Chain A
Amino acid sequence: MEIKKILIAEDNPGLARVLAFKFKSCGYTPVSCADGQLAWDAFQADQFAAVVSDQEMPNMTGVELCQHVRSVNPDIPLFLVTGRQLELANTDAVASLDLSQIFAKPFSPGNVVKAVEAAIVKCGASA
């Protein structure tokens, strides 16, 4: 069965709501977590099609969350949505994590969903 769950890690409840709303309206089941640690717990407890994370969050950053996820799942599409896109783009951590894309805030929710969708399809095709 196709997994439709998307893990959203975002400490700003407004932005989490906006992302969740858009994913839901596009036929996905978003699961929002208010920090990196909660998101990592949720990831271990369930099956997800993709992870969309903020970078700066309490308890665990987005990059740390992605490192944890990558250590157990080398294929799942990972996305960062962050105000630090320009600074993160220059770091090695990002390349080594094989992130699908880093979105800069303010983002277009539609574009985020489209990119996630494309990555899930690609991931499914190669699996």
Chain B
Amino acid sequence: MSNLPGKDFRLETTASASGADLDSRLAEILSAELEVHVQVVNANDDSDCEAIKAAIKTPSVAHVASTDDIATIALRLPAGGVAVWKADVAGSKRSARHGCTILQLEVARHEVHQLTAEVDSLTAQVVNDFEELSLIRSLASSMELPTSGNQLTEFVLSSLGPLAEGVGAISIAGVFTDNQEHRTLEPIWSGEKLLSRDQLNALIDQFSDEASQQTVVRNNLLTGDEFKAANLNEFVMVQCRSEGRLHGWIIACNRIDIDEDVPWAQLGFTTVQASLMDTATNQLAAQLHNMRLLKQKEDLFTEVVRALVNAVEARDPYTCGHSERVASFGRCLAKLSGQSPSDVDRTYLTGLLHDVGKIAIPDGVLQKPGRLDDNERAIIETHTDAGWRILHELEALQDVLPGVLYHHEHFDGEGYPDGLIGDNIPIDGRILAVCDAFDAMTSDRPYRKGMSTEKAAEILKGGAGKFWDPNLINLFLSNLNQFDEIRINHEPREQAVRPAPIDGVPFVGHTTDSLV
């Protein structure tokens, strides 16, 4: 063989930095193992050497070309180069086979290394995805609504805490607006208070416009001049909004330094954290909206009950305050008899509404001073059924129906409307029967003065087991002072005074902006 390029061999440098690195690394290994000098030539270059030509044409085999007693051996490398070395003709075939085996081993080792790195990277990704999934799940399942508005802080904290962990933030601030969306409330921090309230407000002032369009992400604030705060290096700011109402902003401050040393690890906050913040904030916003709706529903409920009580009292002004007193006595007696708080609330509500059926009784009977004849008595006794008819279509008031319908049953079965006996009479009916009688006896009427507490107590005692549940009468009498206190301290609500028109413009109801 002739025309060995010899010194003219050029190390291939242009194709790819790491590709050339790989080829020269492999050449070094071949050098060390074969104990000869191994050069790398560019496969694209024209070469006169038969061995190199053959190597370019047929990779994965080492090619030998000999002149006299020196042989040239060429072997195609994976990244485009060709390894070339010389050997004695006698040992050339062995050297070629040896070199080929070493190359195969090294290439396999290199591939294993790359695949291992890839598996590591995929594993890291799967771990992250698991963390993210579990965070989103935990946020979704810890959605129990607080029962009162005061628990807002705790509720917000219960979702900011896991969120801070999930996005790797040092601390997350929740800044909420007041009801009119005019000013911000005291910020809620998941951890360390990194910024003062004023600094947070300044941050919000500066970025709230951008936040209303998309999540705001800023990294390396110390080098930029956008926002200066000594403690803030980077942040993600998300607007918390639902159903057209702005609740506030959630701001993740400062990323915890990640200890992963993978080359593709990213510093600061990225879209990965931003989208998590987005998801969590949307859930929070939906929950805040739900809380508001729940409160509105409860308010509406209370207001409807008040309106019904007002309706009865408008018909029968002499019983003014009677419903509220009976309700208060009922609450006290229910509590004394060991009922649960929700049962006690129900008894109170039933007390407020127990006489709502009197709306249906004609004035001549309802407002008649003095004794009623049998006919009139029959009419007034329809008020329990009338109460049931008025209320039975209100789903939210189903629980009060037994008390409304059965507060005139007698323990011995001689009452109305159904003549129920003993414990068959629902508990609210039994409780309110006692309370109703006590209030009727002790309160003043236009045609008579109310009797003394002691006298009323005597009558209750005498009717135990006949009219009233003897256990409840015992409880009532042994705690008589409590009931007397409620009676004495009770102040009937004053009738509302309607605002007069101002300059001829009526002024009733709410203005629209406070209806939010």
Report which A residues bind B (CB closer than 8 A).
Answer: 11-15, 17-18, 34-35, 37-38, 41, 56, 58-59, 82-87, 89, 104-106
Contacts and interface: CB of A to CB of B under 8 A. Distances in A.
Contacts of A11: 263-264
Nearest to A106: B272
B267 to A, nearest CB: 9
Nearest to B116: A13
A89 B271 CA distance: 12
Contacts of B16: 37-38, 41
Contacts of B18: 34-35, 38
Contacts of A105: 270-272
Interface stretch (B50-58, B119-127, B428-436, B456-464): B119-127
A14 B16 CA distance: 22
Given A17-B118, A58-B263, A86-B215, A41 B15 contact: yes
Given A38-B16, A87-B217, A14 B271 contact: no
Contacts of A83: 266, 270-272
A59 B19 CA distance: 14
Contacts of B114: 13
A87 B219 contact: yes
B266 A37 contact: no
B271 A104 contact: yes
10 contacts: A11-B263, A13-B118, A34-B18, A58-B263, A82-B270, A86-B215, A104-B274, A105-B270, A106-B271, A106-B272
A106 B123 CA distance: 15
B275 interface: yes
Interface in B118-146: 118, 121-125, 129, 132
Contacts of A89: 214
B121 A85 contact: no
Interface centre among B17, B19, B132 (most CB of A within 10 A): B17
A85 B271 contact: yes
Interface residues of B, number: 30
Contacts of B262: 12
A41 B216 CA distance: 35
B271 A82 contact: yes
A18 B123 CA distance: 12
Nearest to B270: A83
A85 B121 CA distance: 21
Nearest to A54: B264
Interface centre among A38, A59, A87 (most CB of B within 10 A): A87
A11 B17 CA distance: 15
Given A14-B121, A34-B18, 12 more contacts: A12-B125, A13-B117, A13-B121, A37-B16, A56-B266, A84-B270, A86-B216, A86-B274, A89-B214, A105-B270, A105-B271, A106-B275
Interface string B391-416: 00000000000000000000000000
Interface centre among A58, A59, A82, A106 (most CB of B within 10 A): A106
Contacts of B263: 11, 58
Contacts of B272: 83, 105-106
Nearest to A37: B17
Contacts of B270: 82-84, 105
A14 B219 CA distance: 25
A34 B117 CA distance: 12
* 5 pairs of A and B residues whose beta carbons are closest in the complex: A83-B270, A14-B121, A104-B271, A14-B122, A12-B264
B118 A84 contact: no
Nearest to A13: B118
Nearest to A14: B121
A68 B125 CA distance: 30
A86 B118 contact: no
Interface in B252-290: 262-264, 266, 270-272, 274-275
A20 to B, nearest CB: 11
Interface string B146-175: 000000000000000000000000000000
A18 B125 CA distance: 11
Nearest to A42: B16
A86 B271 contact: yes
Contacts of B266: 56, 83-84
Nearest to B129: A106
A104 B217 contact: no
Nearest to A59: B17
Interface in B98-126: 114, 117-118, 121-125
Nearest to B117: A13
Given A38-B18, A41-B16, A86 B214 contact: yes
A72 to B, nearest CB: 17
A34 B262 CA distance: 14
Contacts of A85: 271
Contacts of A12: 121, 125, 262, 264
A59 B24 CA distance: 20
Contacts of A15: 121, 125
Contacts of A56: 264, 266
Contact of B122 (A17, A37, A86): A17
Contact of B271 (A17, A59, A84): A84
A83 B18 CA distance: 25
Contacts of B275: 104, 106
Contacts of A84: 266, 270-271
B125 A14 contact: yes
A13 B262 CA distance: 11
A15 B263 CA distance: 13
